[in-house]
């Protein structure tokens, strides 16, 4: 590609005129927009906001069903409200997948936010084409995989219910195209998380589309930054209690050189920690084969990277190797599975575990007697093995747990049935033999059921998706 | 030979993709990495998780960060948005893995990672209104 960045005023933030600074300002829908101020104060060229976990599109799909103007992550205006003044000054650009299932509506919201701040002249780009919902039958026929389930190998016609959304993980190319067209803010739907970060590296450093080592380097940078606090001391199994000011955990910044060498760091005036241990914990997060990390842009060998702790909350990452990308995108297709309900009750000593098990059985029998069909039951005993399952230490009869919470969860075909099941727990407060049953706050069993979704991952040929990818840029007037 | 829980010699982090949980464990040094590479096999991890992991467990190595990565299929009760589990994303499965005990040379018997000191947290909590 070899794209030269256009002449455009900069805020003097670039470290040495060539190194670019990229920040990971969001790790999921619901993360805190308060991260933005600290990152912008530090000076970053790109603020990347990653808003879409696997199941986020399901939430956004329900939003759009209620209101056609929805379907993007609703906190986008909060993030942009914090970031756009710096964008308007020319120092920073924003790249986000907050468009979710409706990037066009997200762009409207971005334009409204800019206008409300009096920031005309900003250029908002939208990337479309990841949404393959309307083309599923055609793609199932035309694509090499037939949209078979990636894990189980089941054929696409075995999809258990109508799809609710279907989207392919696009790569960095359309984001690079938007930047070439002078975008200040780029809003996408589903793209590979790391592509949000790789795109500015390609654009600024002019990396070629087949410069696999460079593309792997940018992908690794993205991988290390996309989960916000997780590379700077969050979700950390090392000496987590020594992380400074953990209530003020900053979000990460990468300084990326033209050759792909990068330094992972954080805003100086904040808590958190960047060292070899916090960074390597993120290297394998949600990775399968680390020697062949598949993304739309490149196959990266994360085991070839060298990490050097430079001290002062700086870790250098270099030497990562890449090889040619595959001809397919990964797609996620979601379908309805049923309705879930849950109830929680607590028991005190003595014999809390036995009381909880007996109550679970009494509850299940009452539900059966009420004629409420349940397709799947789950009983968790909190304080015993709810999280550890078979890995947890068995209860020693001489040292009973001081208290146990029973969490019952169930799946039903019908939403109303799922709600009625929970009500069968309520009378047990007085009418179950085990002594000392108490509700957990307001969670005795009256909660509203939630919809369960199945995820159907499949591969789809890039050649069938790419012709539908569109980049549009609109100026705020 | 002595026995030691992985907790004393490894860090951990777990993540999800669909119904797959991957758990990475991180050795503190090269010698420890060689030991866990020998001792912590995919079969052993599969047995450790019992009925919790319905499918295959595949092990990958990342010697550059002294880590092993266990990819556990059918490990999340059907996957995040489908699972009835409270921990539907398997956030706690890393901790569950390092409960596993392995054989270590006798001189390693006393090894112990530091335990948390959260006096700072207690001080904050004690100063809150209503306490």
- Give DSSP secondary structure letters for A304-338: G-EEEE-SSS-EEEE--EEEPPPSEEEEEEEEEEE
- Write the residue in B73, B81, B97 that is nearest to A55 by C-beta: B81
| Min distance B86 CA to chain A CA atoms (Å) | 8
Comparison of pLDDT for A450 and A203, the residue scoring more: A203
Residue-range definition of the domain harbouring residue B54: 2-126
For A:393-412, CB contacts with B below 8 A are: 393, 407, 409-411
Q: Assess whether pLDDT exceeds 50 at residue A192.
A: yes
| Min distance B49 CA to chain A CA atoms (Å) | 6
Q: Assess whether pLDDT exceeds 50 at residue A14.
A: no
Structure pTM? 0.93
Quick one: pLDDT at residue A446?
64
Is some CB atom of chain A closer than 8 A to the CB atom of B3?
no
Q: Which chain A residues are Cβ-neighbours of B65 within 8 angstroms?
A: 280, 283-284, 307
| Residue B25 covered by a domain | yes
| Min distance B22 CA to chain A CA atoms (Å) | 6
Q: What are phi and psi of A352, to 5 degrees?
A: -60, -40
Q: Is A208 within 8 Å of A215 (Cβ atoms)? A: no
| Residue B131 covered by a domain | no
When divided into structural domains, chain B yields a total of: 1
Interchain contact, A388 vs B71, CB within 8 Å? no
- Write the residue in A151, A303, A340 that is nearest to B84 by C-beta: A340
Interchain contact, B13 vs A281, CB within 8 Å? yes
| Residue B90 covered by a domain | yes
Domain architecture of chain A: domains with CATH: 20-130+169-326 (no CATH), 333-455 (3.30.70)
Quick one: pLDDT at residue A10?
39
Q: Which chain B residues are Cβ-neighbours of A342 within 8 angstroms?
A: 84
Interchain contact, A387 vs B65, CB within 8 Å? no
Where residue A12 falls (left for φ over 0; alpha for ψ -120 to 50; beta otherwise) is left
Q: Which chain B residues are Cβ-neighbours of A390 within 8 angstroms?
A: 48-52
Quick one: pLDDT at residue A4?
39
Q: Is A181 within 8 Å of A471 (Cβ atoms)? A: yes
Is some CB atom of chain A closer than 8 A to the CB atom of B36?
no
For B:55-114, CB contacts with A below 8 A are: 58, 60-65, 67, 69, 71, 73, 77-82, 84-87, 91-92, 94-100, 114
Cα–Cα distances in angstroms (integers) from residue A30 to residues A13, A125, A195, in the given order: 29, 23, 21
Quick one: pLDDT at residue A397?
85
Quick one: pLDDT at residue A430?
86
- Reported as a single tens digit per residue, the pLDDT across A166-175 is 999 999 999 9
- Reported as a single tens digit per residue, the pLDDT across A370-420 is 999 999 999 999 999 999 999 999 988 888 999 999 999 999 999 999 999
Q: Which chain A residues are Cβ-neighbours of B91 within 8 angstroms?
A: 235
Bond from prior residue into B27 cis (ω within 30 degrees of 0): no
ipTM of predicted complex: 0.94
Interchain contact, A376 vs B84, CB within 8 Å? yes
For residue A112, give the H/E element and its range: helix A103-116
| Residue B101 covered by a domain | yes
Q: Are strands A46-49 and A20-26 parallel, antiparallel or unpaired?
A: parallel
Is some CB atom of chain B closer than 8 A to the CB atom of A416?
no
Is some CB atom of chain A closer than 8 A to the CB atom of B28?
no
Tokens of A326: 């595959």
Q: How confident is the model at residue A11 (pLDDT cuts 50, 70, 90)?
A: very low
């Amino acid at each position: 590609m070899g794209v030269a960045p256009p002449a455009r005023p900069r805020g003097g933030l670039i470290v040495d005129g060539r190194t670019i600074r990229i920040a990971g300002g969001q790790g999921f829908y619901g993360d805190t927009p308060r991260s933005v101020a600290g990152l912008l104060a530090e000076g970053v060229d790109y603020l990347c906001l990653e808003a879409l976990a696997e199941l986020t599109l399901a939430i956004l799909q329900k939003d759009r069903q209620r209101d056609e103007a929805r379907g993007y992550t609703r906190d986008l205006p909060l993030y942009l409200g914090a970031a756009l003044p710096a964008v308007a000054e020319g120092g920073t650009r924003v790249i986000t997948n907050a468009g979710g299932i409706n990037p066009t509506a997200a762009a409207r919201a971005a334009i409204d936010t800019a206008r409300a701040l009096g920031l005309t002249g900003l250029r908002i780009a939208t990337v479309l084409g990841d949404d393959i919902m309307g083309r599923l039958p055609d793609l199932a026929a035309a694509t090499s995989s037939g949209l078979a389930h990636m894990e189980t190998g089941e054929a696409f016609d075995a999809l258990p219910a109508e799809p609710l959304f279907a989207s392919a993980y696009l790569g960095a190319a359309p984001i690079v195209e938007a930047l070439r067209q002078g975008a200040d803010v780029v809003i996408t739907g589903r793209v590979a998380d790391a592509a949000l970060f790789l795109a500015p590296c390609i654009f600024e450093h002019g990396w070629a589309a087949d410069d696999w080592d460079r593309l792997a380097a940018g992908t690794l940078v993205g991988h290390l930054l996309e989960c916000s606090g997780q590379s700077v001391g969050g979700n950390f199994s090392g000496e987590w209690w020594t992380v400074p000011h953990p209530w003020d955990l900053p979000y990460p910044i990468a300084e990326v050189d033209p050759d792909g060498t990068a330094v992972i760091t954080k805003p100086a005036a904040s808590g958190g920690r960047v060292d070899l241990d916090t960074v390597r914990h993120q290297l394998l997060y949600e990775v399968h084969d680390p020697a062949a990390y598949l993304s739309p842009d490149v196959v990266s060998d994360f085991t070839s990277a060298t990490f050097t702790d430079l001290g002062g909350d700086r870790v250098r990452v270099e030497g990562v190797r890449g090889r040619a990308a595959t001809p397919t995108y990964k797609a996620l297709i979601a379908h309805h599975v049923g309705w879930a309900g849950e109830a929680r009750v607590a028991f005190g000593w003595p014999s809390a575990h036995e009381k909880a098990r007996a109550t679970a059985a009494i509850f299940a029998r009452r539900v059966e007697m009420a004629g409420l069909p349940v397709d799947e039951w789950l009983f968790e005993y909190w304080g015993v093995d709810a999280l550890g399952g078979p890995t947890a230490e068995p209860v020693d009869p001489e040292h009973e747990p001081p208290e146990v919470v029973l969490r019952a969860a169930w799946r039903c075909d019908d939403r109303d049935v799922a709600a009625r099941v929970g009500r069968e727990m309520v009378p047990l407060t007085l009418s179950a033999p085990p002594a000392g049953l108490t509700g957990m706050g307001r969670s005795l069993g009256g909660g509203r059921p939630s919809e369960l979704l199945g995820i159907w991952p499949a591969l789809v040929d890039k050649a069938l998706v790419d012709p539908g990818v569109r980049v549009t840029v609109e100026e705020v007037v | 030979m002595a026995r030691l829980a992985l907790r004393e010699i490894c860090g951990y982090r777990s993540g999800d993709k669909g119904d797959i949980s991957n758990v990475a464990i991180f050795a503190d040094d090269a010698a420890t990495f060689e030991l866990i590479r020998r001792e912590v096999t995919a079969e052993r991890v599969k047995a450790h998780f019992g009925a919790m992991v319905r499918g295959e467990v595949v092990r990958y190595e990342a010697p550059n960060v002294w880590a092993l990565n266990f990819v556990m299929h059918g490990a999340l009760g059907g996957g995040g948005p489908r699972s009835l589990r409270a921990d539907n994303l398997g956030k706690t499965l890393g901790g569950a893995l390092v409960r596993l005990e392995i054989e270590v040379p006798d001189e390693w018997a006393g090894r112990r990672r530091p335990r948390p000191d959260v006096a700072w947290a207690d001080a904050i909590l004690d100063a809150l209104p209503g306490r």
